[in-house]
A and B are shown apart, each in its own frame.
Chain A
Amino acid sequence: MQPLNHVLLHPAIQVGADLNRWRNAGGGVGLIMAASQPAAIIPTLQAADLRGMGGAGFPTWRKWTAAAAMVAETKYVVCNGNEDEPGTFKDRHLLRWTPHQVIEGALIAAIAIKASHVIFYVNPHQADSIAEMRAAVAQWQGSDLLAGLEPIIGQPVKLEVIASSGRYIGGEETAVVSWLNQGFPFPSRKPPFPFEKGVGGQPTLINNTETLANVPHILNNGADWYRALGKGEACGTKLYSLSGDVLNPGLYELPMGTSLRDLVFTYGGGMLDGRAFKAVFTGGPSNTLLTARDLDVALDFDSVRARQSRLGTGAMIVMSEGTSIVRKVADYVEFFATGSCGQCPSCKCGTFQMARLLDRIATGRGTAADVGALDHLCALLPGSGRCALIDGAVTVVKSALQTFPEEYQRPAAAGGAPKANQQT
């Protein structure tokens, strides 16, 4: 078994909000190196091939380059810690146990794009994480490290922790901007992208928490070191949120590109209580399902995409034989229906209608016409929303329909509501 927890989850750096302990554990070095050579930051990330860990896998350096190229008095860096989807629990851990790792990454981003405002946008439902971040940010105020950035950026850097709305949709980057501009957490059409017109109408760089947490380590140890951490073509490590019917669920930091088999059977301890492996919903969970055929797929952005799926946030929800796929899909689509902001009629009604059809099928009341209607919706809905929520919902439904068609075709089982059975 490969050693676990190389970088982000290294036991020595799980120190919480105490800045001195963080610096004694080797913290701050990446920031100092970045500050000494600001022009080298983006090329280093490019060489390291750091990707956006929030689900898109978009090259981080390209996002930073675009934001850096904008000319503006005030720019913003936003660390997106809204994490709310089922099965994902990585960012809350980083914010709770290694807040300074995240803060350093965000400050390096501020140097790279010359931003004077850094906002940590944290889900208030994770009370521990937001409290720890507030305590950690307070320790940076007035510190010499922070003051040292002023000459490089050209103005003092303001750090802030802001509670998000706690809604799933509030993690979408245009919704982040809307919330930070005192609006509803609703997505808007792109362009303009946040890097053009974001918080306060100013250029804004929005990165996932895990992405930013990687940055100080890359600056500190170099791009080659980071590339070597991954398996095969993939670079770095990835936080995998493993859950479902495995013996040892939890958060695992493994080389990017670790196989699904290793994650489930080596690190996850195998299936729970002698069950058989059936499928994995990848976080989250708005992607296509992985099945036993995909056990040897390398869990990195490109390999999973080659399988017509997406790595997403690295959440792996493992299902065993005997689990009703329709039930799970119904639950997830219900989550999307509840999470839809309701701006786009197709998304608002489409997710609701799909959830209703799925629930009918999952509870044995479905008909062939219901399955047909689902099929039609899957063809009709994609691309009809401002953001990708409706596309994610359709993806998981379509994938389950294709992968486990027999579960949708099963005739209505014996059931129905229990009747009052008095005086028998």
Chain B
Amino acid sequence: MRTEPMAAPMAAIPFSVALQTWQTMPGQPMRPSDSPPQTLLERFHPDYAAQATCRLMVGASKGARCHPLLARIIQGNALIGDVDLAALAPVTTDILVIGGGGAGVAAALAAREAGADVILAAKLRVGDSNTVMAEGGIQAAVGDDDSLQRHYDDTLKGGHQAADPALVERLVGQAPAIIRWLIQLGMHFDLADSPTPGARLLRKRAGGTTAARILSYRDFTGLEMMRVLREAVELDRGVTILNRHPAVELLSNDHGHCAGAVLYDLEHATLRIIRARAVILATGGAGRLHLQGFATSNHYGATADGLALAYRIGARVRDMDSFQFHPTGIAWPQHLAGGLISEAVRSLGAKLINGLGERFIDELAPRDLVTAAILRECAEGRGVVRDGQVGVLLDTPGLLAEKPDLLSRQLVSLAHLADRCGIDPRREPLLIRPTLHYQNGGVEIDRHGATAVPGLYCAGEVAGGIHGRNRLMGNALLDILVFGREAGKAAATLAGTPLTGRVGLEHVRDWQRQLTYAGLINGPRSPLLYPAYGNFDLRAHMATARKG
């Protein structure tokens, strides 16, 4: 583990100089690699920085490594107590799904197919999530030259062999069926030009994979996917959708099982008690915590709420010190920093260029390696600086010169983003820098999405173990659907079982005892619900609303 601070002032080559060098060096020579991948990661990947890890002091995974900022949140005290629940009438359902992204909707739909009644609670609105921001595509081994085994091997290898093999097996095994399901729901995919009648899915290669396995729709695959998911769930009368209802706490019964949740109704400024036979957390990741000061590609809602709730009720977590920094986030202009440029751009052939006009890494190496390589260029003075923002160049002009119609056909989001940056990507390379993209770890689940706490399931980015310590492109859109549906199906087996006994916050009392013993009782409160810059305070919101 290295100890030098991440935020050391960086010398860099001015953008104008770098631009000139780039223009005059047509061959784009590749600098030979001088350090093995592991060394590169240990020296430059943010996960390996000394200040990026601590040990959890309480809870079911006490002693496990965790990012310190995340540890503060998941070891936080509860936002509410019994006093807040007085005089509230509970609403009862079979399955409560928390989270309105792809995983939550997939879970709700699967639970409905199995005959359960569902309440789907979203803290923003259904579809308003990271899923719609996924650009590149979804992996599924459907090609003639591909196999489930290759998908399995690539995923495990990309995750540094740290993933749970049982989860990977389920992930890759379900992939073809998931694509079929999406097509049945009406999702569009890019199709390959075919000389013979009958369209075939267009396949692209993702970084770190051995076959062309990415299926996509333009470069807004997630948006297209969410479109059909949302239509399906909103037309289902068995699903009650509660928009703008963040979950503030889970509920437990006498046996310590999860038995519902307390939601906050933003519109009426009141808490709601939902009693459920099972709860599926699909709350996504933690990008909006801006770990180590990184910009993020993540959506407004990514505040680790589900991790805090699940950990407090007794679920185990894993790989909480492992994050994915997407190599190509916007570095300039500053107000768009963190915005994502799809890996599809590199997948189609765009090169990364440092301030000296050199390539310095195989652009389709696994994401953590590419990220470490970019951060190395920046740290060693070969980065490019523009208005104080340091990064490297993404050679879109080089790519678009070869394939001019890409912008209008496949890289539509890139065209939009470049337009907002005031850049013509056909003429000027983009300044990029790694952006906090994905939480590799999360709540431990089994292949049905079940956690260590009976009645609690997790799906999507909140769950861990599927991707090990690094995720491949296209496996996230796959993961949310596979495990969303698994969790929905498994949870639905509890539908109709009797709801007896008391339900309340007993687990919170146990948790507060642990916090007291560990000296953490006066720490922060969680979940955050909204990012720090949202300035949302539950108590203040409730109080203001009461005053009218």
**Contact between B509 and A272 (Cβ–Cβ < 8 Å)?**
yes
CB distance from B541 to the nearest CB of A (A): 15
A319 to chain B, nearest CB (A): 9
A320 → B minimal CB distance (Å): 8
B42 is an interface residue with CB less than 8 A from chain A: no
Judged by a CB distance under 8 angstroms, whether B240 is at the interface is yes
Shortest CB-to-CB span from A348 to chain B, Å, is 17
Q: Does B89 lie within 8 Å of A364, measured CB to CB?
A: yes
Q: Which of A378-422 contact B (CB under 8 A)?
A: 410, 412-418, 420-422
Rounded to whole Å, the gap between the CB of B280 and the closest CB of chain A is 18
Check B521 against A273 for contact (C-beta < 8 Å). yes
Interface hit among A63-71, A115-123, A302-310, A322-330: A322-330
- Is B516 within 8 A of A420, CB to CB? no
**Given the interface contacts A273-B516, A324-B82, A364-B89, does A414 sit within 8 Å of B270 by beta carbon?**
yes
Q: Which of A247, A324, A331 contacts B87 (CB 8 A)?
A: A324
A245–B516 Cα distance when bound, in Å, is 13
Select B90's contact among A363, A420, A423, beta carbons within 8 Å.
A363
Is B244 on the interface with A (CB-CB < 8 A)? Answer: yes
Contact of A417 with B89 at beta-carbon distance under 8 Å, contacts A273-B77, A422-B234 already known: yes
Alpha-carbon distance between A418 and B412 when the two chains are bound, in angstroms: 40
Judge whether A363 and B88 touch: CB under 8 Å.
Answer: yes
Question: For the complex, is A79 an interface residue (Cβ under 8 Å from B)?
Answer: no
B87–A424 contact, CB under 8 A? no
User: Quick one: which of A351-376 are within 8 Å of B by CB?
Assistant: 362-365
**How does the 8 Å CB contact mask read for B266-277 relative to A, with 1 for contact and 0 for none?**
011010100000
**Is residue A46 contacting chain B, with contact meaning CB distance below 8 A?**
no
How far, in Å, is A195 (CB) from chain B's closest CB?
A: 35
Q: Given A415-B270, A421-B243 in contact, is the A273-B512 Cβ separation under 8 Å? A: yes
Interfacial chain A residues near B242, Cβ < 8 Å: 418, 420-421
- Establish whether residues B87 and A415, one from each chain, have CB atoms under 8 Å apart when the complex forms: yes
With A273-B512, A322-B81, A338-B500 as contacts: A362 and B241 at CB distance below 8 Å: no
Interface majority SS (helix, strand, loop, mixed), chain A? loop
B125 at the interface (CB under 8 A from A): yes
Q: Does B86 contact A (CB under 8 A)?
A: yes
When the two chains form their complex, are residues A247 and B513 in contact, meaning their CB atoms are under 8 A apart?
A: yes
CB distance from A248 to the nearest CB of B (A): 7
Instruction: Point out the residues of chain A lying under 8 angstroms from B267, CB to CB.
Output: 421, 424
In the bound complex, how far is the Cα of B512 from the Cα of A249, in angstroms? 12
Complexed CA–CA distance, A40 and B500 (Å): 49
Q: How far is the CB of A409 from chain B (nearest CB, A)?
A: 12
> Are B82 and A415 neighbours in the complex by a CB distance under 8 Å?
no
Give CA–CA (A265, B265) in the complex, Å.
38
Residues of B70-96 at the interface with A, using a CB-CB cut-off of 8 Å, are 77, 81-83, 85-91
Name the distance in Å between A419's Cβ and chain B's nearest Cβ. Answer: 9
Knowing A272-B512, A273-B516, the reply to whether A422 touches B243 (Cβ < 8 A) is: yes
A328 CB to closest chain B CB (Å) equals 9
Q: A247 near B243 (CB under 8 angstroms)?
A: no
Within 8 A of B (CB), among A201-255: 244-245, 247-249
B507 proximal to A (CB < 8 A) = no
* CB–CB B87/A412 < 8 A: yes
Contacts of A272 in B (CB 8 A): 509, 512-513, 516
B351 at the interface (CB under 8 A from A): no
Complex contact B83–A418 (CB within 8 A): no
Q: Does B471 contact A (CB under 8 A)?
A: no
Question: Which A residues between 298 and 344 are near B, CB-CB below 8 angstroms?
Answer: 320-324, 327, 331, 334-335, 338
Q: Which residues of A contact B263 (CB under 8 A)?
A: 418
B201 to chain A, nearest CB (A): 32
Of residues 509 through 527 on chain B, the ones whose CB sits less than 8 Å from some CB of chain A are 509, 512-513, 515-516, 521
Which residues of B in the span 484-513 have a Cβ within 8 Å of any Cβ on A?
Answer: 500, 502, 509, 512-513
Q: Is there an interface contact between B89 and A365, defined as CB atoms closer than 8 Å?
A: yes
Contacts of A249 in B (CB 8 A): 513
Closest Cβ–Cβ distance, residue B199 to chain A (whole Å):
33
Separation of A324 and B85 alpha carbons in the complex (Å): 8
In the bound complex, do residue A424 and residue B265 qualify as a contact, i.e. CB atoms below 8 Å apart? no
Closest chain A CB from B63 CB (angstroms): 23
Q: Contact at B241–A322, with CB atoms within 8 Å?
A: no
- Residues in A with CB closer than 8 Å to B125 are 424
Chain A residue, CB-CB nearest to B90: A363
B513 touches A248 (CB 8 A): yes
B87 adjacent to A322 (CB under 8 Å): no
B245 on interface, CB distance cutoff 8 Å: yes
Q: What are some 12 contacts across the A-B interface (CB < 8 A)? A: A244-B509, A249-B513, A273-B516, A275-B81, A324-B85, A362-B86, A363-B89, A364-B87, A364-B89, A417-B91, A420-B242, A422-B243
